[in-house]
Every structure is written in C-alpha cells, then in structure tokens.
Amino acid sequence: MSEFKRITPEQALALRADGAVVVDIRDPQAFAAGHIAGATHLDNHSVADFIRSADLDAPTLVVCYHGNSSQSAAAYLVGQGFSNVYSIDGGFELWRSTYPAETAQGSAE
C-alpha cells in the first residue's frame, strides 16, 4: 500500500477486532474525555517512540475529531514506512455515536 485508505467506522470496527492498532491524534484533554477503546494517544511528543516500536506492516487506524486531520497523519505514517494505514471517516465523533459501547475514558498511559 503506497498511500492510506479512508474507511467507515464499520470497517474500522472489523479491522480493530482483527487486531489493528488504533492511534488517536486529538488533544490530550479530548482523548481523556473519550476515545476508541484500546487506542493509543499520538502527538508530536510520542510519535517518534511510536514509530520506533511499531510493526510497520500492522493495520494502523488513525482517528481525529471528524476525519480530516487524521488524513494528514495517516499520510505522514505512510511516509514513515507504514504499509497498511487507514483514516477513519467521521472521526471519533461518528465512532462515538455509532459505537458508544466501544469507547473508553482516561488519559494516555
């Protein structure tokens, strides 16, 4: 895969169930207030460590607020060598309204 793909929350749910990595690029306060269960918070301070320790071939789902900023972040990850990157259309807001039981609260670890 030479570029990321845009997917629906339904497709993201299926990939997540198969073990895809979920990264959330929203600000720390928004992430703490609610995020996709199992997601990793990713920002300018944590991205280098994430890339160093990541499986570049693992499916990686990128989520933001509404599905716009995640596209740039997904493209960045592709540029860093990730081969299987997806941006979730509608972002966390659509995910939360579609799958409220698949959300969690709390800050990044």
Residues 86, 3: Cα–Cα separation, whole Å? 9
Residues 70, 28: Cα–Cα separation, whole Å? 15
Catalytically annotated residue among 12, 23, 63, 64: 64
Residues 84, 94: Cα–Cα separation, whole Å? 22
Q: Which residues contact 101 (CB under 8 A, 6 or more apart)?
A: none
Short-list 6, 14, 16, 51, CA closest to 37: 16
Active site residue 107: no
Active site residues: 64
